[in-house]
Structures are given as structure tokens and as C-alpha cells.
């Protein structure tokens, strides 16, 4: 008989890294063949801007969701409860309640953390420390990268930690990538793809573009992402004010073949996020053989090999970002070589199949302990 796992995890909507990984797990043949899987989605938000907001509808949903989790744990008696906890905000008290119920029912628990913030939140709100201690005591934890352990080191022992980098489906062949690479222009074309939020580094990248323009560099930078906290109006106002209309374009959200077109035409990918645990979009860019520039944040240094497949820059530092971008402007052939190294790194470490096998092995080990 296969071990039974109750997966309590986020799935789209809204679309974000944790939700996408939840969908990949839900759809995984490797995971579903190895375990008898049960799934409950604890997400109370349908739009990314609603995450973290509280209203009556959400409170009622959370209550019903917790009841559903408890009933399933009692009736189905899983060997392991897998939970993607929201670790860096007031949602920690909801998660404390879920974990406490599962512990009362004597269930084995593993937390898979796709975000961070425990260290800062517990320092700002002392009352939350009790919740963190309850959640992490005698609980196994999966982190996306070793750099993220510091965030929970006050509450969780290293002996309870497992590391499992994310992965995404490999969608394009080597021949397709070769064709794309050969069609790319020599002129630097930078691509940004994420939600249009301040903490994704949108304003920092715009400031870096302004610096490059003032240095008389020839380049293009395309921003892809759903208009949200940063509106199309405020974005275009900055472009007009700084005379960037010949350099910078914001095109809104793009999906499928349209998104593929932008990845194919770009010569480098920029992800100057101010807050991140991993950054799945970097894996997409690497699959398309794009060298990447990312901020020194979360697990990003575990993805980009600094000076090999791209550059790691200090977050919220437009001058340092502009300097890294300038390298790609001035050295198009070297940036191509970096892109090839990035694709090889993706294929060797970050495909969805590799992630599924890593996760399966970790879950099996926890169940057997």
C-alpha cells in the first residue's frame, strides 16, 4: 500500500511561485504514483493584490478550510501532512492553528516554505514568536535554498531542514534554442517579466535604464507584467518625464506564444527583485538561453552563477544594476556564452522532473523516519 499524504498547498489563482509549484505537484505523475495523494487548497485570495488583505469573506473561507483540513486528517488518516505555510505575516496565526490541530491529531508534518519573513516579522511583532515556536517545534521543513535558513534559524534546528530547489517543465528543445539564438539581434534587448510591483524592482530597473541612456548606450528594455500596484499611467509618466520612450516599453501581461516571442527576441533577462525566495521566472529565462541579472536576494544566488551565467547585484542599487546591464550592451558575444551556460545549468538542475524526484525522495525519507 502506498503512503498517504495530505497536501495542503496553494494553487492558482492567483498565479505566483508557490501556487505554480503547487500545481506542478498536483499534476505530477511521479508524486501521484509514489503516494496516495489528497489535496486541499488553503488560498483565500484570487488576485495577487488581495494577498495579505483581510475581509469577512476571507475569514469565513479560512474557518471552513481549517475544518476541512481537520476532517480530512481524521477520516483519511494520512501518513504525512505537507503544508505550504505563509511564514512572513499575520497569516502565521492561521497556520499555527492548522499545525496545532494536526499535532493534536498526532500527524507527522512537513512545511514547504516558498516565502520568507519570519525573522523580520518576529522582531517587529514579539507576540508572533510563540506562533513560530509552535509551528516549527518537532516539524520538518523544506527550504528552496540554503541561503533561506537564516530566516527561520531562531525557531528550527538544522537537523530538521531539507533543501529542494524548484523546477519548471522543459518546453523547448536544443534545436529550437539554437534557432532562437541565431535570430537574436546584436543590440542589447533586456526583458523584465513579473508582477508590476515596487518590490519586484520595477522602479530600480527604470532608474538603471535612465543611467544607461545618459551614458548614450544603445539598448531596449521591455517590461511584461500585469499592471497592479504600479499602474500603466504611473509607468508611462516616468518614461515620459525621463525621455525613455525610445528605450523602454511596458506591454502588460503576456501569455503563451506571446510570452515566448518576447523571450525569443530578448538578449538578457533582468530580475531586480527586492523580496524573493527563489524566482521561477529566472528558470524560464535560462531555458531560453538568456543570461540573467538578479539581485542578491533569497535563493537567487543559488540559481545564477555570478560571472558565469549572469550577474548577481546588490538589491535596490540602480547604479550597480546599470553597470551589469552595460556589460551586456558592450559584450554581446560574451553575453551569448553566458546564456548557453545558463541553459545548461537549467537542464542539469532545475527541470520539473528533477524537482519531482527531489521532493519524492524527501517525502519518502520523512515518512520512514
The answer on 112 and 88 residing in a single domain is yes
Q: CA 16 to CA 251: how far, in whole Å? A: 19
The answer on 130 and 202 residing in a single domain is no
Residue 132 clears pLDDT 70, i.e. is over it? yes
The answer on 195 and 309 residing in a single domain is yes
Residue 84 per-residue DSSP state: -
Residues ≥6 apart with Cβ < 8 Å to 307: none
Higher pLDDT, 84 or 50: 84
Average pLDDT over residues 200-211: 98
- Asked if residue 123 lies in contact with residue 149, where contact means CB atoms within 8 angstroms, the answer is no
The three grid cell numbers given for residue 332, joined into one nine-digit string = 554581446
Q: What's the pLDDT score for residue 52?
A: 66
The answer on 33 and 88 residing in a single domain is yes
Q: What is the CATH number of the domain that holds 204?
A: 3.40.50.2000
The answer on 125 and 78 residing in a single domain is yes
The answer on 276 and 339 residing in a single domain is yes
- Dihedral sign (CA 280, 284, 287, 291): negative
Collapsing DSSP to helix, strand or coil, 351 comes out as strand
DSSP H stretches of helix in 6-55: 17-27, 29-34
Q: CA 353 to CA 28: how far, in whole Å? A: 9
Q: What's the pLDDT score for residue 45?
A: 78
Whose cell is 496553494? That residue is: 10
The answer on 53 and 199 residing in a single domain is no
Global pTM value: 0.93
The answer on 156 and 203 residing in a single domain is no
CA neighbours closer than 13 Å in the CB half-sphere of residue 33: 5
The answer on 205 and 115 residing in a single domain is no
Neighbours of 28 (CB within 10 A): 20
If one counts the domains in the chain, the total is: 2
Residue 140 clears pLDDT 70, i.e. is over it? yes
Structure confidence by residue, pLDDT tens digits, 285-308: 999 999 999 999 999 999 999 999
Q: CA 337 to CA 311: how far, in whole Å? A: 13
The answer on 150 and 16 residing in a single domain is yes
Structure confidence by residue, pLDDT tens digits, 234-259: 999 999 999 999 999 999 999 999 99
The answer on 227 and 303 residing in a single domain is yes
The answer on 159 and 24 residing in a single domain is yes
Domain with 103 in it: 4-168+351-368
Structure confidence by residue, pLDDT tens digits, 145-182: 999 999 999 999 999 999 999 999 999 999 999 999 99
Q: How confident is the model at residue 13 (pLDDT cuts 50, 70, 90)?
A: confident
Amino acid at each position: 500500500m502506498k503512503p498517504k499524504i495530505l497536501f495542503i498547498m496553494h494553487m492558482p489563482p492567483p498565479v505566483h511561485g508557490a501556487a505554480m509549484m503547487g500545481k506542478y505537484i498536483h499534476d505530477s505523475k511521479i508524486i501521484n504514483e509514489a503516494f496516495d495523494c489528497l489535496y486541499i487548497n488553503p488560498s483565500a485570495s484570487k488576485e495577487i493584490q488581495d494577498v495579505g488583505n483581510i475581509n469577512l469573506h476571507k475569514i469565513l473561507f479560512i474557518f471552513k478550510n481549517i475544518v476541512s483540513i481537520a476532517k480530512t486528517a481524521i477520516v483519511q488518516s494520512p501518513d504525512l501532512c505537507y503544508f505550504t505555510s505563509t511564514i512572513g505575516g499575520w497569516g502565521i496565526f492561521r497556520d499555527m492553528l492548522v499545525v496545532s490541530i494536526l499535532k493534536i491529531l498526532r500527524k507527522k508534518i512537513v512545511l514547504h516554505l516558498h516565502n520568507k519573513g519570519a525573522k523580520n516579522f518576529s522582531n517587529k511583532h514579539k507576540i508572533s514568536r510563540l506562533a513560530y515556536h509552535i509551528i516549527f517545534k518537532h516539524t520538518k521543513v523544506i527550504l528552496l535554498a540554503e541561503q533561506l535558513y537564516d530566516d527561520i534559524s531562531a525557531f528550527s534546528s538544522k537537523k530538521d531542514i531539507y533543501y529542494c530547489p524548484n523546477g519548471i517543465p522543459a518546453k523547448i528543445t536544443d534545436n529550437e534554442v539554437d534557432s532562437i539564438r541565431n535570430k537574436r539581434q546584436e543590440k542589447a534587448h533586456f526583458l523584465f517579466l513579473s508582477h508590476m510591483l515596487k518590490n519586484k524592482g520595477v522602479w530600480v530597473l527604470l532608474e538603471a535604464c535612465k543611467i544607461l541612456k545618459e551614458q548614450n548606450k544603445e539598448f531596449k528594455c521591455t517590461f511584461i507584467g500585469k499592471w497592479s500596484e504600479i499602474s500603466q499611467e504611473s509607468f508611462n509618466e516616468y518614461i515620459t518625464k525621463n525621455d525613455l520612450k525610445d528605450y523602454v516599453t511596458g506591454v502588460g501581461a503576456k501569455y503563451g506564444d506571446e510570452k515566448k516571442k518576447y523571450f525569443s527576441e530578448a538578449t538578457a533577462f533582468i530580475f531586480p527583485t527586492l523580496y524573493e525566495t527563489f524566482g521561477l521566472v529566472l528558470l524560464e529565462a535560462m531555458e531560453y538561453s538568456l543570461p540573467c541579472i538578479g539581485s542578491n536576494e533569497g535563493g537567487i544566488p543559488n540559481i545564477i552563477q555570478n560571472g558565469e551565467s549572469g550577474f548577481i547585484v546588490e538589491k535596490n542599487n540602480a547604479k550597480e544594476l546599470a553597470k551589469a546591464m552595460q556589460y551586456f550592451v558592450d559584450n554581446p558575444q560574451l553575453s551569448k556564452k553566458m546564456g548557453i551556460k545558463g541553459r545548461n545549468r537549467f537542464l542539469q538542475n532545475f527541470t520539473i522532473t528533477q524537482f519531482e524526484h527531489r521532493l519524492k525522495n524527501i517525502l519518502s525519507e520523512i515518512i520512514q523516519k
